[in-house]
Structure 1
Amino acid sequence: MALMEGRAGFVTGAGAGIGEAIAKRIAAEGASVVVADVDDAGGERVVREITEAGGTASYLHVDVSSEDDVRAMVDAVVERYGTLDFAMNNAGIGHLPVPLHEMETAQYDKVMAIDARGVFLGLKYAIAYMREHDIAGSIVNTASGTGLKASKGLTAYVTSKHAAVGLTRMAAIDYAEHGIRVNAVAPGSVKTPQMVAQPADIVAGYEALMPSKRMARPEEIAAAVVWLLSDEASYVSGDIVEVDFGYLQAG
């Protein structure tokens, strides 16, 4: 039996990169998925590719920093598929390295709004539904190695990912008695469109930092996420799973 057979939920930031890989893997494992993103073309493409492969998915335009959008996303999952069993708070943005005192406040606020507030809102509304309907659901947040260790020049990103780690751990202990599991993945460098669009010297630098001397493929992160969402990880909660080929341990 597929790991996610008969379940329904959402993946944010699923129009490309890690989120795309997660949505496709979840659908391949039998779940119905709302593909959420602000990139309409990307999200609709992912849905088309999932359905062409025999999966069940639909697209919804969602700005994860908007409380109204996130509330509507949870409602959409339930309206379309009858329940909400899992949530994957993946949407995030980064920024080029810049000293803290030179960072534009607007840029800091934007990263925090998506990478931290977005996780909070995804947790808030998914958990509220699960509590109300007595669902022992599973939630995974996309953190980062930078949520566990600082990285020079990445002030907003590091801060937001530390927040994602804190939210994961707090939600895990707050809702353990309700059977709701909350975990996070902490990828190292991943070969996503967002990553490879950066200047070549920065991309090469990130690759060189990895003990494997290569970036992860998005599908490698997706495999860890599906395990955490599934019953295979039924006694795992509050964990931050490092998917970085030993980078944090080597450093």
Structure 2
Amino acid sequence: MGIVGEIRCPHCTAPIAYAPGEVLFTCRYCGYTGYIDLSVQFRLAHSILPPRLGSQEIANIVTRWMETGFAKPRDLAKKATLKEQRYLLVPFWLIPVKATTTYKGLLLRLGKPIEKSGKVEGTYDWFIVARSGVNVPARIFDLPVSERAPFNFSSLPAGVEALNAELDAEGAKERAKQQIELFHIEKAKENVDRFIEQKTDFEFGEPTYVHVPLWFIRYEYHKASYEVIVEGHAGKILLGELPPLEIGIF
């Protein structure tokens, strides 16, 4: 993605380069966060899930992941080779929300249609990735959000890059609505097979802009390439691509 413009940081006057689609920046010199459109003031909290894990610790986590669990070739940990490690601070929106879905539908799986109604509700800290092209799961429930801290650029590991956001808070709320509604509909399908009507109501708290440390690991197994994404605070694996199981049988 090419750079199309440059602004000056309102806090330290350092040059800020930005690319197409970016709406929020974090100054790499002083850590100030603001909108690319400097006429709009950023008033929301900016926090970070503090980075704790280094390159070797992440490699060890990936190796243990390869050695354990199901649906993995038996020789994966022995024969896989780590080829690339990229360390990025990826922007997310943390959206506090209470959602209630009421529905009416038909249960068809037992033969004669039975009309049923019900409700699915939940209170969430819903994470929305604020950057396109980042291959993380759409639903992330169990990051340790209570351990986040105010964003402090001076405390970050040397060389780590804080990506700019391409999605603002209102856009994140709309995306959260879509994802939560689909999530609730999936849960409601435990009770009905066909919907007659359904409606979801939302109560939002104030969003928080959060940078999450992510390690993007590329490994090679039998000449094919796969990716693992590890959260760099507590070591949770967010994505783990696996080779076809039959490769490891021979």
**Same fold per superposition (TM over 0.5):** no
Q: Whose strand proportion is higher, 1 or 2? A: 2
Structure in which a larger fraction of residues adopt helix: 1
Alignment TM-score, normalising by the size of structure 1: 0.23
Structure number with greater CO (CA < 8 Å, separation at least 6) is: 2
TM-score, with length taken from structure 2: 0.23
Structure of greater Rg: 2
